[in-house]
Amino acid sequence: MGPAQYERLRQKVTAWVTGPGEEWAGRIEATGQVPEQLWAELREEGFLRMAAPRSYGGHGLSFTQWMGLMEIFSRSHGSIRMIVHVVNGIWRAMDPFATDEQRKKFVLPAIEGDIKIAFTLTEPGNGTGADITTSVVRDGETYRLTGDKHLITFGVRCDYYLLAARVEGSTGHEGTVSLLVPRDAEGVHVEDTSQTMGVTGTDHATLRFERTPVPVANRLGKEGEGLDVALGGFLTPSRISVGMSCVGLAQRAQELALDYAEARHTFGKKLSRRQAVQFMLAENAADIEAAKQLVMHAARTFEEGGEDASMLSSMAKMTAVSMLTRVTDNALQVHGGLGYWKTSPIERVYRDARAQRFEEGTNEIQKTVVFRELLRAHTQGGNL
């Protein structure tokens, strides 16, 4: 997309986030629900297909351009950011592995917002990635799926689960499969677990599958490529996007803190004239900018197909999350006791920020990914 057209799109997103988006944020916090009307509005505005290619009905944005828009969306309510983030990313995991028929049935409808697809990897009794134990047994042209998943975003209201499992008896990456499992299939049991500290209104689910029939035709890629779909196709760009989400939300916290510091007077002087407050906000500004530059470096590397994109995505995510923790804590501190009340916008921002600490993997997981890549490069005589 050209610079002038992109700037118009940025202005459109900014106007929506600061206008209707803020109104929606108030409604979500008041009711605890994200209504279907909000999904419909995001769809009508074209916000759910922004990152897709023009040939798929999208805007034809580069990945770095998309990150610039995610930065703006992330200043909004956590649930709005979550919808836009997931829908604009999940097609990217499916598309490289999809057949023409699967592209018509799943990828394009997901981009258009006609169907909702929930990324389904995490399990209650296991770690991440190759540790999954949810399994399938093949019966002709049908898989029988058995196992448990939890912390599944949009797991209640989705139409399909983009689910990672393994062929029964296999280990490691070998035998993993990626399946599109219908939400209403036989043997699917859904427990609504949506009562969270922040990101109010986003539905989450714990799932149990009891010999759930899934057509082999709903498998993306080959047996053994299940984690390639989940980890490379979704998690690497998604971690970069979460890193940018941290940057955008931190900018919102900083904006609220600056506004409050300018408006609040103590002992006849603006709070913004207190050196302790000035230092906190100056540190915030530097912290935000440093994290943003690392996120954008990771985004450019992913966009260019760089081999270290996975490592940089984890570096960016863990750095941005730590930054967001410090920035929102400082911003709340600037507000004093008033920031602790729900009548203050910083209170919601503070709660929403905490969710980033585990979205797409905790910092401990990111450090594991980074060290694994460091060790690989070292043993191969690399420079890292």
- Catalytic residue positions, numbered: 360
Q: Show the tokens assigned to 359.
A: 């979205």
Sole residue written with tokens 């490592």? 311
Calpha distance 358→242 (Å, rounded): 10
Neighbours of 19 (CB within 10 A): 10
Q: Compute the distance between CA of residue 349 and CA of residue 22 in angstroms, rounded to an integer.
A: 13
Q: Which of 275, 254, 255, 273 is nearest to 264 (CA)?
A: 273
Cα gap 315→363, rounded to integer Å = 9
What residues have CB less than 8 Å from 113, skipping those under 6 apart? Answer: 39, 42, 43, 48, 49, 87
User: What is the secondary structure of 52-100 as a DSSP string?
Assistant: S-GGGTS----HHHHHHHHHHHTTS-HHHHHHHHHHHHHHHHHGGG--H
How many other CB atoms sit within 10 Å of the CB of residue 286?
10
**Which run of H or E residues covers position 366?**
helix 363-379
**Distance between CA atoms of residues 327 and 323, nearest Å:** 6
Beta strand pairing status for 204-215 and 160-167? Answer: unpaired
> Exposure of 51 by Cβ count < 10 A (0-12 exposed, 13-18 middle, 19+ buried)?
buried
Residue whose pair of structure tokens reads 């916090």 in the numeric block: 29
| Cα gap 175→382, rounded to integer Å | 31
DSSP 8-state secondary structure symbol assigned to residue 35: -
